[in-house]
Amino acid sequence: MLPDPLPNKVLERISVLPLKPSLVTLQGRHVYLQPLDIVRDGTPLFHISNGKPITTENSTYPSYDSDERIWAYMNSGPFATLGDFIAYLQQGVNAADLLPFCVFDAKTKQPIGSASFMANMPQHLKIELGGIWYTPIAQGTVANTEATYLMLEHVFNLGYRRVEWKCNALNCRSRRAAARIGFTFEGIQEAHYIIKGRNRDTAWFRILDHEWEVIKKQLQATLYPIDLNK
């Protein structure tokens, strides 16, 4: 037996949502996200992701293995030159169903990474959060949690029913992050891709619209605990 037809108010969203997610700035307390601008963001993002020492207002982060810390499980990278990196960013900017963001530290206003709305399918009211990476300085902080919270809040407010998170099944950090944020693990799709000449099995996670209010409150309690005492 087929399920009942969806309500008209749900189906009407299909004709409203664009294939290319609309440009928007997402403002948080710890980070803010702006649509990626190649001229503004390309060089700074390259410098914080290429393994060379990173200097901030308070300290210097030493040289690191950029493949191990950032690019190992990504579809591209690491990048030997700024030109190669810019070409990679441009693919995301040009993609018909993708909107990449530059993630900024709210205090210093310096770029700390990138995240994207991608695999957008408004005809099914679903979208994916992906292309997520952060410079080592921001890894292990609240940056990823708040950026993901802001992205989730935005798309559920737009009327999406399903938000997906997919990663290499071997990427334990990404899988832990998805579970910590509140995504439900749905399983492993084996032999899903060939990436950099290697097999990739993909771990699938999702949040559905009716689950969001509970997850939202949990994230707010984690990100903004001082508010609970007001």
Q: What is the residue range of 123's domain?
A: 20-160
* pLDDT tens digit sequence for 125-175: 999 999 999 999 999 999 999 999 999 999 999 999 999 999 999 999 999
pTM comes to 0.96
**Helix/strand/coil (H, E, C) string of the chain?**
CCCCCCCHHHHHHHHCCCCCCCCCCEECCCEEEEECCHHHHHHHHHHCCCCCCEECCCCEECCCCHHHHHHCCCCCCCCCCHHHHHHHHHHHHHCCCCEEEEEEECCCCCEEEEEEEEEEEHHHCEEEEEEEEECCCCCCCCHHHHHHHHHHHHHHHHCCCEEEEEEECCCHHHHHHHHHHCCEEEEEEEEEEEECCEEEEEEEEEEEHHHHHHHHHHHHHHHCHHHHHC
91 assigned to some structural domain:
yes
59 assigned to some structural domain:
yes
5 assigned to some structural domain:
no
219 assigned to some structural domain:
no
CATH at residue 96: 3.40.630.30
24 assigned to some structural domain:
yes
What pLDDT shows up at residue 9? 92
Q: Model confidence at 219, in pLDDT bands (50, 70, 90)?
A: very high
152 assigned to some structural domain:
yes
Count: domains in the chain: 1
